Amino acid sequence: MLAASIETLATSKENNDSRILSVKNLCKNFGGVKALQGVNFDLVKGETHALVGENGAGKSTLTKILTGVYHYDDGDIILKDNIYKPNSPKSAKQSGIQVVHQEFNLLTYLSIAENICFESLPKTKLGTLDKKKMHQRARLAMDTVGLGDIEVTTKISELGIAHRQLVEIARALEFKSDILILDEPTATLTQREVEKLFTILEKIKHSGVTVVFISHHLNEVFNICDRVTIFRNGKTITTKEIKDTNPQDVVSLMVGKALEQVMAQQSNQKHFGSIALEVKNLVIPQSPNAEGINFCVRKGEIVGIAGLVGAGRTEILRTIFALQEKISGQVLIDGLPVEFKNPRDAVNARLAFVTEDRKDEGLILDMSIATNSSLASISQVSNAGLMDFEKENQLAADFAKKLGLRFGKLKDNVASLSGGNQQKVVLAKWLSTNPKLLMLDEPTRGVDVGAKAEIYSILRSLALDGMALIVVSSELPELMTLCDRILVLSNHQVTGELEQQSFSQEEILQLAYKNM
pLDDT of residue 264: 47
Out of 249, 282, 311, a domain closes at 249
Which pTM does this prediction carry? 0.60
Cα angle 482-486-487, degrees, rounded to a multiple of 5 = 150
Same-domain check for residues 443 and 394: no
In a domain, 264, yes or no: no
Same domain, 474 and 381: no
Same domain, 447 and 508: yes
**Quick one: pLDDT at residue 7?**
42
Measure Cα distances from 309 to 104, 254, 305, 306, 421 in Å.
26, 30, 12, 10, 26
Q: 99 Cβ partners below 8 Å, 6+ apart?
A: 63, 66, 67, 172, 180, 181, 182, 183
According to the model, what pLDDT value does residue 266 have? 52
Domain edge (last residue) among 388, 417, 434: 434
pLDDT over 90, % of the chain:
54
More confident residue, 491 or 410: 410
The string of pLDDT tens digits covering residues 385-414 is: 788 888 999 999 999 999 999 888 999 999
Residues 128 and 144 in one domain: yes
Class of residue 474 by CB neighbours under 10 A (exposed 0-12, middle 13-18, buried 19+): middle
pLDDT of residue 2: 36
Whether the predicted pLDDT of 16 surpasses 60: no
Over residues 182-234, the pLDDT tens digits come to 988 887 777 788 888 899 899 989 999 999 999 878 889 999 999 999 998 88
Strand partners, 29: 34
Q: By three-state DSSP, how is residue 328 classified?
A: strand
Is the domain of 345 the same as that of 289?
Answer: yes
**Does residue 448 belong to any structural domain of this protein?**
yes
Does residue 235 sit in the same domain as residue 132? yes
Q: Residue 31: what pLDDT? A: 75
- Per residue in 129-157, pLDDT tens? 999 999 999 999 898 888 888 999 999 99
- What integer is the mean pLDDT of 283-303? 89
pLDDT greater than 70 at residue 13: no
On the question of pLDDT at 449 being above 60, the answer is yes
Q: Domain range spanning residue 405?
A: 357-434
Instruction: Look at 363 and 55; give whichever has higher pLDDT.
Output: 363
Same domain flag for 232 and 137: yes
In a domain, 102, yes or no: yes
Average pLDDT on 110-121 reads 90
Residues 319 and 397 in one domain: no
Q: Quick one: pLDDT at residue 331?
A: 96
Q: Are residues 409 and 317 in the same domain?
A: no
Structure confidence at residue 17 (pLDDT): 58
How confident is the prediction for the chain on average, in pLDDT? 87
> What is the arrangement of strands in the sheet containing 351-354, beginning at the earlier edge strand?
351-354, 437-441, 468-472, 302-307, 485-490, 493-499
Q: How many CA atoms lie within 13 A of 376 on its CB side?
A: 26
What is the domain-level CATH number for residue 465?
3.40.50.300
Least confident of 84-88, 173-177, 419-423: 173-177
Indicate the number of domains in the chain: 3
Same domain? For 492 and 507 the reply is yes
Q: Predicted confidence band at 37 (pLDDT cuts at 50, 70, 90)?
A: very high
- Given 401, 434, 467, which residue is the final one in a domain? 434
Who's near 344: CB < 8 A, 6+ residues apart? none
Say if 189 falls within a structural domain. Answer: yes
**69 has a pLDDT exceeding 60:** yes
Give the number of other Cβ atoms within 10 Å of residue 245's Cβ. Answer: 16
20 and 140 part of one domain: yes
Q: Is the pLDDT of residue 257 over 80?
A: no
Reported confidence tier of residue 5, pLDDT bands at 50, 70, 90: very low
| pLDDT computed for residue 194 by the predictor | 84
Is 265 a residue whose pLDDT tops 90?
no
Residue 263 domain flag: no
- Proportion of the chain above pLDDT 70, given as a percent: 93
Whether residues 86 and 152 share a domain: the answer is yes
pLDDT in tens, 427-445: 999 999 999 999 999 998 8
Decide: helix, strand or coil at residue 468: strand
Label residue 244 exposed, middle or buried (CB < 10 Å: 0-12, 13-18, 19+): exposed
User: What pLDDT, in 10s, does the model give residues 323-343?
Assistant: 999 999 999 999 999 999 999
